[in-house]
Amino acid sequence: MAPPTPALDAPQILLLFRDEIAVFQIPETVEFEGVREQIDRLIALEPPDALGPTCRLDLGERPITLLDLRRLVHHLDQTHSIEVTGLYSSTQAIHRFAQRELKLKLFLDGTPPPEDLMPQPEPTDLEPASATAPEAPDVDASTAPAPQAGQALDLDPDDILDAELQTPTPSDELEPEPEPAEEESGVRTLHVPRTLRSGHAVSFDGDVTIFGDVNPGAQITAAGSVIVLGTLKGVVHAGATGDEQAFILCLQLQATQLRIGTRIAIPPKEGSQGPEVALVREGRIVIEPYRSRLPR
């Protein structure tokens, strides 16, 4: 039997050198699942140490989630001991994350990063922004300082020692069965016509609408906003690729935990009546009654 030869028409990752640094150029057409393998093969073809200790990724227009980006960086580091130091990408949603969390230098169209994209020195996202909560809010409702009406408790920064958040990896994922509806804005919405039970995970690169409840132990991860036409008791991460304009709207909010962008909050136990929306205001997740129009 002949060894399998890679199909010639398969979209290929290219290994180039820019400024004498290796650059992996990953075209939009390559499925993320195959990216790591292809990179492994490319590296194996090079003479040892030809690549040097660092490299950059060129994603061009290719959209990528925070999680996939982190996986890629992790893979190169763990498997090949090559540190990714730079990124070419026009996906704005990942820029901040790439700079602040992954410490990557950004190259836009091959030009050095403009000033406003340079790393900012004080990233303290997950700390309660408000000075009125000097003590980390306790989770136990009985000992917690009474939350202001509509104010979710920010999670104790102690719990997340390094204020970095990424989307967990769901395996038991529900397939986006109904074709996502493409809207004029280009934002895609996934409709899930059932209740999500414990262990179910939905993750999607746009908005998600659930026609049913989200039970404890179920998890939704969306790049955009999440609407639950039912009771939300599980965990929702909206704006998972860094979009802090994303919101979480549900008919009844009793969530275990809410996450928007890189922020995490535990809503007060006694849920109020009626539809509510969770969103980021002044750097904190807050919960407000939903009044017949989109927030903001």
Partner 1 sequence: MSECLVITSGKGGVGKTTTSANLAVALAREGKKVAVVDADIGLRNLDVILGLENRIVYDLVNVIEGQCRLKQALIRDKRIEGLFLLPAAQTRDKNAVTPDDMKKLVDDLKELHDYVIIDCPAGIEQGFKNSIAGADRALIVTTPEVSAIRDADRIIGLVEAHDLPEPELILNRYRAGMVGRGDMLGREDVLEILAIPLLGIVPDHEDIIISANRGIPASFDDDSVVGAAYRRIAARLGGAEIEIPSFDDKQTFWGSVARWMGLAPAREVM
Catalog residues that contact partner 1 under the rule CB under 8 A.
67, 70-71, 74, 78, 138-140, 155-156, 158-162, 164-166, 168-173, 198-201, 216-217, 219, 235, 256-257, 264, 266
- Choice between 71 and 100, CB closer to partner 1: 71
Residue number with CB closer to partner 1 (12 or 252): 252
Name the CA radius of gyration of the chain, rounded: 21
**What is the C-alpha separation between 239 and 228, in angstroms, rounded?**
15
Look up residue 125 and give its two tokens: 């996202």
Nearer to partner 1, 74 or 103 (CB): 74
Identity of residue 117: L
**Rounded to 5 degrees, what angle do the CA atoms 36, 31, 24 make?**
50
> Which C-beta is closer to partner 1: that of 15 or that of 278?
278
Which is nearest to 219 in space by CA: 240, 241, 203, 195?
203
Instruction: Sort residue 160 into left (φ over 0), alpha (ψ -120 to 50) or beta.
Output: beta
Closest alpha carbon to 156 in 132, 136, 130? 136
Q: How far is the CB of 241 from partner 1 (least distance, A)?
A: 15
Nearer Cβ to partner 1, position 58 or 205? 205
The minimum distance between CB 71 and partner 1, in angstroms, equals: 8
**Closest distance of CB 287 from partner 1, Å:** 14
Strand ranges inside 36-82, DSSP E: 54-60
Structure tokens at 78: 């763990």
- Please report how close the Cβ of residue 74 comes to partner 1 at its closest, in angstroms: 5
Q: CA 278, CA 287: separation in Å to the nearest integer?
A: 4
Smallest distance, partner 1 to C-beta of residue 115, A: 32
Other C-beta atoms closer than 10 Å to the C-beta of 39 total 22
Provide, rounded to whole angstroms, the least separation between the CB of residue 80 and partner 1.
Answer: 14
Choose between 70 and 188: whose C-beta lies nearer to partner 1.
70
| Pairwise CA distance, residues 160 & 152, whole Å | 17
- Provide the minimum distance between the beta carbon of 170 and partner 1 in the complex, in angstroms, as a whole number: 4
Structure tokens given for 225: 């906003």
Query: Among all chains, which residue has been given the structure tokens 């965990």?
Result: 235
At CA 145, angle to CA 140 and CA 147, rounded to 5? 95
Q: Which is nearer to partner 1, 30 or 174 (CB)?
A: 174
